[in-house]
């Protein structure tokens, strides 16, 4: 597929519907509210650039991540010291973030050479070159010369 309309019809044919938002808005904002709900659902924001094809997945990379997670779990049970934390304050965040700064997911920003932000992607796991290629392949008919 190389056009956004074909991709959207393919998604509908396999049962993927538009995200539902519970925001109240005026009629002329409904399209943007739906678009924003879809961005939140998939973790990708590309203003004015619709997806042309499915996001590429690297199954080998996923297997390697699972192997590494098993190793960390085994290693964690061998007496590795755990840092004690101070008591939580009332305004402290209690989200469960990865303990290793080296393995924390983040945000990948895509910019053109002039500094204009083309899009961004919230990463579900640590970044890899595969994420970069998959995001660009999903949104561009031909890869840009520089991003």
The pLDDT mean for the chain works out to 77
- Render pLDDT for 39-73 as a digit per residue (tens, 0 to 9): 888 888 988 888 888 887 766 666 777 887 787 77
Q: Which residue would you say has higher pLDDT here, 132 or 91? A: 132
User: What sign results for the dihedral spanned by CA atoms 52, 54, 60, 62?
Assistant: positive
Q: Token pair for residue 33?
A: 């509210």
What is the CB neighbour count within 10 angstroms for residue 6?
A: 12
pLDDT of residue 55: 80
pLDDT of residue 86: 56
Separation CA 53–CA 6 (nearest Å)? 9
Task: Answer whether 4's CB lies under 8 Å from 49's CB.
Answer: no
User: What sign results for the dihedral spanned by CA atoms 46, 102, 70, 95?
Assistant: negative
Q: Which residue would you say has higher pLDDT here, 67 or 91? A: 67
Separation CA 43–CA 32 (nearest Å)? 16
């Amino acid at each position: 597929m190389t056009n956004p309309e074909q991709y959207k019809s393919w998604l509908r044919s396999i049962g993927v519907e538009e995200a539902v938002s519970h925001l109240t808005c005026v009629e002329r904002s409904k399209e943007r509210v739906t678009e924003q709900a879809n961005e939140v659902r998939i973790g990708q924001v590309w203003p004015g650039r619709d997806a042309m094809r499915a996001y590429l997945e690297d199954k080998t990379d996923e297997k390697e991540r699972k192997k590494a997670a098993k190793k960390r779990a085994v290693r964690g049970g061998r007496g590795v010291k755990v840092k004690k934390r101070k008591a939580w304050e009332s305004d402290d965040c209690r989200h469960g973030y990865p303990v290793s700064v080296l393995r924390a997911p983040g945000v990948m920003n895509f910019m053109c050479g002039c500094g204009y932000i083309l899009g961004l992607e919230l990463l579900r796991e640590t970044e890899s070159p595969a994420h970069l290629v998959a995001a660009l392949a999903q949104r561009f008919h031909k890869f840009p010369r520089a991003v």
